[in-house]
Amino acid sequence: MVRDAYKLALPVLTLGIVLLFLDIWYGAVFFLLIGGFICYFFRNPYRVIPDAPNLIVSPADGKVVKIADGPEGERTISIFLSIFDVHVNRSPVSGELKSLEYKRGRFKAAFDEEASRVNEQNILTIQGDGIRVTVRQIAGLIARRVICWKKPGDILKRGELIGLIRFGSRVDIVIPERTKLMVKVGERVRGGSSIIGEYL
């Protein structure tokens, strides 16, 4: 469980326990269930990070809902995270976080075609060895907060935790043209362990 969970889960669980001792069962069960869901939502399962060179791993858990080609040959892979998916985000490559931009915006449903363009988001640019990728943490209809734990200048390792999106969301990753794509639309991926591409 990531650290962001404690300030949300502990008060709720504490209230549930207090109500339990007061024999207020309905209230106790309600708050204990809510606290349990918060702990589940903020889980951080162990992942085996591939160590072969030139690989790009998924920055998030979820379902690949779109792969779009850009004007200069780059590809954008969009991953939709349901409320039941793991919501921590990971660095897809090893390298330096060159920039972090927060963009205010709307809160359209994360699966909406326009979400990548108009929704609130963090835009991270990571410069690796011979590759530059962009990761967008995109807020959704339910997810109203995008969190990045890193700052420009930080050196990241492939699969390292970089942030979190609360309660349902979308993550886009933009990869360069010279990348062999290794996922397809409809495929489920795991952050840090699923290989989405290999740069040449």
Task: Output phi, psi for 165, to 5 deg.
Answer: -125, 130
**What secondary structure does DSSP assign to 135-192, as a single string?**
EEEE--SS---EEE---TT-EE-TT-EEEEE-SSEEEEEEE-SSEEE---TT-EE-TT
Q: What is the 3-state secondary structure (H, E, C) of 39-73?
A: HHHCCCCCCCCCCCCCEEECCCCEEEEEEEECCCC
**Residues forming the active site:** 169
β-pair partners for 155: 96
Question: Position 196: which residue type?
Answer: I
